Structure 1
C-alpha cells in the first residue's frame, strides 16, 4: 500500500534481498532439520572448492520426459561452464523436515540451477543470496523431442517470483483490474510471464 512505501524503502533499500532477510528471520529449522543439514554438509560439501546445486522439478513427465530433461540440464551446465561438482535435488517424495533440509543445503551452494515455476528453488536461492540459472524444461507438446535452443538463463535477481500478484499498478499506485503494471522495483519474472519479482534499479536498466 502507498502509505507503507516510505517505511518499506527504509527497511529494504536493497530490493533484491527482501526475501533473503525475511526468510532467514522467519524460517527456523527444527533441531531435527538442522541435524540433517549439518551432517550432510560436513560429510559432502564442507571441503568442496565450489558447491553447485541442481534443483530439478518436472510437473508433467509425459510432456517433459526425464531423459529429455536430463539432456537439457547437461546442456545448460556445460554451455554455461557450471560443471563439475554437483549437489542434486530432484524434489520428489520428501517429508517436510527433509524438504526444508534440502532447501537449506541448496542455499549453501555457490552456484544454483533451478526449475521454472518452482517455489522450492525460489526459497533456496533467496535464502542463499544466489542468482540462479533457470532451466528451460523441454516440453514435447510444443517441440517434440527437440531440446529448446536456450538451455537455461540467468535470473536477474535472487528474489522469488510472485506467481499470482495482487492487481496493483506500481506506476499509477492504484489497485487495477486485469494485468498488473510494472515499474521500479518490480518486473515480470523470467519463468512466469505474468508473475512479478523485485529487482534493483540497475537490473531494470539492464532489462530495458
Structure 2
C-alpha cells in the first residue's frame, strides 16, 4: 500500500515551483543572488521550504513519522503559523509573511498566495469534508475560510473576508460574510 506522500510530486519539483512563484511575485530573475537571499533572508520562503521538508520526512524508515511531528511542532513555534499535517499544497506556494496563519485540513492547489493571518478551518465539529482552494487563488491578509467550501481557480478573497460558501473560479469575494462582487480579473480591490 502506498501513501499520499509517495504519489505526490517530487520535493525538488515543488521547491522549484515555489522559487519560481516567489521570483514572479517579486519581479526578479532567478539568479544566484536571488536564491541566496531567498534561502537565507526570506522568512516566507523558509516557512514554505520547512513545509516541503515536513512532507518528505515520513519517507524515512522508522523515525519518519515522529520526525515529521517534531518538525511540524518546531515550524509552528519558529514562524508563529500552522499548516496542518494533513493539509496538501501544490507547487508554487507563495507565503511572503508567515505570521498568524492557521490552515487546517484542506487541499490547496498550485500557485496560491496566502498572506498573513489567513485562517482555513471548520465551522463546527460536524463539518464533513475539507476546504478546497483552487489553482492561482489569492487569499489576502486576514481572510477566513470556514467549512468544506470550494474556492475556484483564480479567485481572489479580500482582506478580512469571511468565506462561508463556495466562490466560483475567477470571482472576487469580500465582506463579512463574504459576497462575490465581480470577476477577479476586472475587480480593483487593491488586494496586493
TM-score, normalised with respect to structure 1? 0.27
TM-score, normalised with respect to structure 2? 0.28
- RCO (CA 8 Å, sep 6+): is it higher in 1 or 2? 1
Bigger proportion of residues as strand: 2
- Greater C-alpha radius of gyration: 1
Bigger proportion of residues as helix: 1
